[in-house]
């Protein structure tokens, strides 16, 4: 089992969905932060009618994504997550791993991947995830990661904050993330965080670069 599959299986416990839907993002600020950043980036995208949210967890992003497209598909490997899904609006839900999404090439105008890439330590795992997201995206990918230029990441490097270790979450540079997606035909359009250099969680908007003959 590779790194992407191990991360995908992390939230398989029976009550994982209830935890992620409730205490994991208990405050209003925590609940609204990611959807707000994603909505702002999605507003920059043209002609988006179909969107894939993967991994979707318990549907935290649904209310931000559903009004901005005609069709929303939410995919997650965890049955517990899908069972705890937000009730309304209710998009189509699919149990699937990001390691091998069961969709045809370029099936969606935009693909959203929130809070997954920061679990991938090896450059090879990051590039495989980027490749699979790019494969099913017709034009755009919006993905989050932990920015290594942020204050929390700096504190880890200085020994002022404990690292999460080889199985925990890890920060990556914007340049490395951009390069990984560039290798699969997507260019970085914008990076956005709540507070630059302070917020570790960062979102990136990528757009497909069409190859001319």
State the pairing for strand pair 137-146/92-95.
unpaired
Sheet of strand 137-146, all strands in order from the earlier edge strand to the far edge? 92-95, 71-76, 50-53, 108-113, 137-146, 201-208, 186-193
DSSP-assigned letter for residue 62:
H
In DSSP terms, 166 is beta-bridged to none
DSSP-assigned letter for residue 143:
E
Cβ atoms of residues 42 and 68 within 8 Å: yes
pLDDT digits (tens, 9 = 90+) for 29-51: 767 889 999 999 999 999 999 99
Question: From the CB of residue 170, how many other CB atoms can be counted at a distance below 10 Å?
Answer: 21
All structural domains of the chain, each given as residue ranges with its CATH number in brackets, are 3-208 (3.40.50.150)
Inter-CA distances, 182 with 17, 107, 139, 153, 195, Å: 33, 20, 13, 24, 25
The span from the CA of 56 to the CA of 63, in Å, is 12
> What pLDDT was estimated at residue 200?
94
Rg over CA atoms, the chain: 16
Q: Does this model's pTM top 0.85? A: yes
> What pLDDT was estimated at residue 213?
41
Cβ atoms of residues 105 and 136 within 8 Å: yes
How many Cα atoms are found within 13 Å in the side-chain-facing hemisphere of 177? 27
Inter-CA distances, 65 with 50, 53, 78, 171, Å: 10, 9, 20, 26
pLDDT digits (tens, 9 = 90+) for 119-155: 999 999 999 999 999 999 999 999 999 999 999 999 9
How many Cα atoms are found within 13 Å in the side-chain-facing hemisphere of 7? 23
> What pLDDT was estimated at residue 84?
84
Q: What are the residue ranges in the chain where pLDDT is below 70?
A: 1-26, 30, 86-90, 211-213
> What pLDDT was estimated at residue 13?
58
202 phi, psi to nearest 5 deg: -130, 145
3-state secondary structure of 24: helix
> What pLDDT was estimated at residue 139?
98
3-state secondary structure of 131: helix
């Amino acid at each position: 089992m590779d790194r992407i599959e191990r991360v995908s299986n992390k939230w398989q416990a029976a009550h994982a969905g209830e935890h992620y839907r409730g205490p994991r993002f208990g405050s209003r600020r925590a609940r609204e932060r990611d959807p707000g950043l994603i909505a702002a980036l999605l507003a920059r995208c043209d002609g988006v009618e179909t969107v894939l949210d993967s991994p979707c967890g318990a549907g935290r992003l649904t209310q931000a994504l559903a009004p901005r497209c005609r069709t929303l598909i939410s995919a997650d490997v965890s049955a517990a997550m899908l069972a705890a899904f937000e009730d309304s609006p209710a998009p189509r839900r699919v149990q699937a791993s990001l390691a091998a999404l069961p969709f045809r090439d370029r099936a969606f105008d935009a693909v959203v991947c929130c809070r997954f890439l920061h679990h991938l330590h090896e450059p090879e795992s990051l590039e495989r995830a980027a490749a699979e997201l790019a494969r099913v995206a017709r034009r755009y990918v919006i993905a989050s990661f932990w920015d290594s230029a942020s204050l929390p990441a700096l504190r880890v490097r200085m020994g002022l904050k404990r690292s999460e270790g080889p199985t925990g979450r890890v920060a990556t540079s914007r340049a490395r993330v951009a390069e990984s997606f560039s290798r699969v035909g997507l260019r970085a359009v914008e990076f956005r965080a709540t507070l630059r250099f302070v917020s570790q969680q960062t979102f990136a908007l990528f757009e497909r670069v069409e190859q001319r003959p």
